[in-house]
A and B are shown apart, each in its own frame.
Chain A
Amino acid sequence: MEIITDQPGKKILLLGNEAITRGALEAGVDVATTYPGTPSSEIADTFSHITKYFTKKGDKPPFYFEYSTNEKVALEVAAAASFSGLRALTCMKHVGLNVASDAFMTYTYVGCKGGHIIVSADDPYCHSSQNEQDNRYFAIFGGAPMLEPTTPQEAKEMTGVGFDISEQLSLPLLLRTTTRLSHARGPVVFEKMQKPRGIGHFEKNPLLVTVPAVARKQHPVLLERMEQAEKISEKSQFNEVVNVGKPKDIGVVSSGVSFNYAKEMAETLSLDVRILKLGMTHPIPRRMCEKFIKSCSTIVVIEELEPILEQQFKTLAFDMKSDVKIFGKSTGRFSRLYEYNPDIVVDVFSKIFKVKNPFPKPVESKIKLPSRPPSLCPGCPHRATYYAVKKAAPKDSIYPTDIGCYTLGKEPPLEMADVLLCMGSNAGTACGFAVSTGQKIVSFMGDSTFFHAAIPALIDAVHHNHDVVITVLDNRTTAMTGHQPHPGTEFDGMGRPAKMIRVEDVARGCGVEHIEIVDPNNIKETTAAFKRALDFKGPSFVVSKSPCILLEVDRKRKAGEEIPVYSINQELCKRCKTCIGRFGCPALYFAEDGSVHIDTTLCNGCGNCVQVCPFGAISKSGVKE
């Protein structure tokens, strides 16, 4: 466990996310909570590994960690730790903060006691997300100080300093990263680890109860705290001017990973510019920014997504009656879309400063390459469920889906995903389609998603007797984000035995009358179960239960069990293409002569293609090496 060595000065390569965890350990974090979501997951997974390491040794971990039911719960658990005087960290992906926002927006009114860092990992370009919202708005919206690191080293430092700022202001602090920081590795130097505080104590305070009279009192308190925060920002070590060349009156304002591009590209183009690097971006250090504006005739603002710094600088310039030229997004130079990269920055620089772009024009391939989108794994039980539902349901049935691996069911040949908004939206939209159309509706979600956000919608379906089939693809884990536990698993994130909650028990408790529990690897029975569920008038609930194939293969390997592989008997195969064209396991492929084969290195031995082949051509042929 290199990450917990208390060896100041030691330098190791860390992921931005791991560096945040290390920063929290150095700051003596007591309670860490999360709901997993890419690109934030490794922060919490590292906490989890550390606690498991202690649990395994029979020792008490130095801090408490949990994968909470959802981000709102995660925030609330950690807030209570803070109210009790402990240091707490909550991490989530950007859309997770939408879920937690109800708590967040009032949390800043009452404030915290022990330092509390909320990490929001944003995802410009939607590498693994349903939108690319800019959560810097949440810092402004809710009133929270915000830090934005540029490197893993800075991510660690900001986490440590962030706890101090949070305690100084009695406000939770937003540490905002983006994918390019979360998933970048760089050298990180260790500092001494502080001891956690251990057990906190809650002192009652009527101002923690936000009845209207209290809320009215606390709003001005929040504004005062933000004024204090501005003073901290003016002095912050993370806000500084970096000179490139021999700068005169041209400035660049930047934050986060964009700063890295700005600096390197300014150097590459031999520009003479002063870069105002903002690390504490809410509130911005107004005096420092005004001084910067005064010293410049032209300013280029480089920030991904929304023009948040740009607008603040324009406002400042307007108030100062400055005639500085500010280039950003509204002047059309920079886009509000997607991730930036060195090419984009160099292109804008060369246009504004009229210098030649020194890089060769990117070459393009003349050959058209087949796309390689992610797909459901070979042997994934979701594929079998989808195949069965397709057989059971009428042609124009609607398939609302949810956030998780099963969105990959959207791809051909299955095409079993019609609508997706957010965590839990499958069940809510299913209810809506039931009252709006005459079509049959089968919705899909995962087990973790069910606990996270779908139970209220299930209750809605029961209470209003909506005619829907709501399916939980129960693969016993939170697969997409890296196989984290959830309330339906037997162990918690610290590796301790935990009470396992069954989704079918919850559904029964919510009053669902028609419940089917099936093993999707039996396609015939699964098809029959969905037919019964579709025939039932009113809400029915199907639990399609089979562990994620990756976990299953892993389990079998560890237990020394054989993993079978399957092949196609070329004499029996009629090349009807059912297995590839309708089922679509990625282990199946056509040879150049049109014959169908199974790539045994990819086959995970689920045996489901055997049930799909109408000619009995597929059978077990050996075991995986």
Chain B
Amino acid sequence: MNKKISIVLVGVGGQGVITAANILGNAAVKADVMVYVSEIHGMAQRGGNVVCTVRMGEVSSPMLPSGTADVVLSAEPIEALRNISFVNKKTKVITDINPVIPFTVAVGGEPYPKLDDVFKEISKHAELYKIDALKIAKESGDAITKNTVLLGALAATGVLPFKPDVLLETILNMVPDKYKDVNRKAFENGMKAIKK
């Protein structure tokens, strides 16, 4: 096992990235692993991009050096690419394939790049895993479980210093009773999406 584990979670304000990072942090505390979670959310609520870092193990700094992420977990494809400076050849980039178009595309005429190009570019620098988290979430019973799908995929990489069950339990602890079943399903389907 690595002595230091660095996970970067990225996405767009409102996608629940901060909550997902928080869940990871709580799972680590549950597993008695040292952890720091860092978030920047000044105006994130208003649709800006969000970056959270989760570091576990023998770490002092909540921030990681460039090129040292073990996993980049992205809720939006171009946000994965925007944060490419965190990756090295061995980094696993797990990204949802559903774009959220920034309003600068509509108003300012900045183009949203072709998804194929985005994925190709990421693959050049890291190990890419594309998943349709939205579709898997819907199939699991509710679109709202999209981030649970992503966390399931993260757990399946084997990078985390604790069993996937610890993460799943942490998620189930944080959702209302009536959503527990769909979340369990979403998590398992997310794990499968990576394994195949």
Contact = CB atoms under 8 A, between A and B. Distances in A.
Contacts of B102: 370-372
Contact of B107 (A342, A550, A580): A580
Which of A264, A268, A346, A588 has the most chain B CB atoms inside 10 A of its CB?
A264
Contacts of A368: 113
A363 B44 contact: no
B78 A359 contact: no
A331 interface: no
Contact of A369 (B48, B63, B78): B78
Interface string B99-127: 00111111110111100011001000100
A364 B84 CA distance: 7
Given A13-B26, A264-B59, A374-B44, A589 B117 contact: no
A295 B8 CA distance: 40
B2 interface: no
Contacts of B47: 372, 374-375, 377, 586
A373 B111 CA distance: 15
Contacts of A127: 40, 42
A370 B110 CA distance: 6
Interface stretch (B28-36, B147-155, B156-164): B28-36
Interface string B17-33: 00000100110110000
B12 interface: yes
Interface stretch (A84-92, A179-187, A284-292, A605-613): A179-187
Contacts of B39: 183-185
B22 A370 contact: no
A13 B65 contact: no
Given A267-B60, A367-B118, A370-B78, 12 more contacts: A13-B37, A183-B38, A185-B39, A186-B62, A259-B60, A264-B59, A362-B85, A363-B85, A370-B104, A373-B104, A375-B47, A408-B43
Interface string B52-77: 00000001111111111000000000
Which of B47, B67, B81, B105 has the most chain A CB atoms inside 10 A of its CB?
B47
Contact of A184 (B12, B37, B105): B37
Task: Give the size category of B's interface with A.
Answer: 35 or more
Nearest to B82: A369
Contacts of A424: none
Contact of B85 (A180, A364, A367): A364
A220 interface: no
A411 to B, nearest CB: 8
A183 B41 contact: yes
A408 B43 CA distance: 10
A76 B176 CA distance: 42
Contact of B66 (A343, A373, A408): A343
Contact of A581 (B22, B63, B85, B107): B107
Interface in A349-394: 359-377
Contacts of B5: none
A185 B25 contact: yes
Closest 8 CB pairs between A and B? A128-B42, A374-B46, A374-B43, A362-B66, A362-B85, A374-B48, A586-B103, A360-B67
A371 B26 contact: no
Interface string A221-237: 00000000000000000
A38 interface: yes
Nearest to B66: A362
B16 interface: no
B106 A580 contact: yes
Contacts of B64: 342
B87 interface: yes
Interface of B: 12-13, 22, 25-26, 28-29, 34-49, 59-68, 78-79, 81-82, 84-88, 101-108, 110-113, 117-118, 121, 125
A377 B40 CA distance: 19
A19 to B, nearest CB: 12
Nearest to B43: A374
5 contacts: A39-B42, A362-B86, A374-B13, A374-B47, A586-B47
A180 B78 contact: no
A263 interface: yes
A411 B25 CA distance: 35
A367 B60 contact: no
B105 A370 contact: yes
Contacts of B104: 370-373
A126 to B, nearest CB: 9
Contacts of A584: 103, 106-107
A429 interface: no
Which of A187, A267, A366 has the most chain B CB atoms inside 10 A of its CB?
A187
A405 B46 contact: yes
A365 B63 contact: no
Nearest to B67: A360
Nearest to A582: B107
Interface string A329-348: 00000000000011100100
A260 interface: yes
Nearest to A347: B65
B46 A185 contact: no
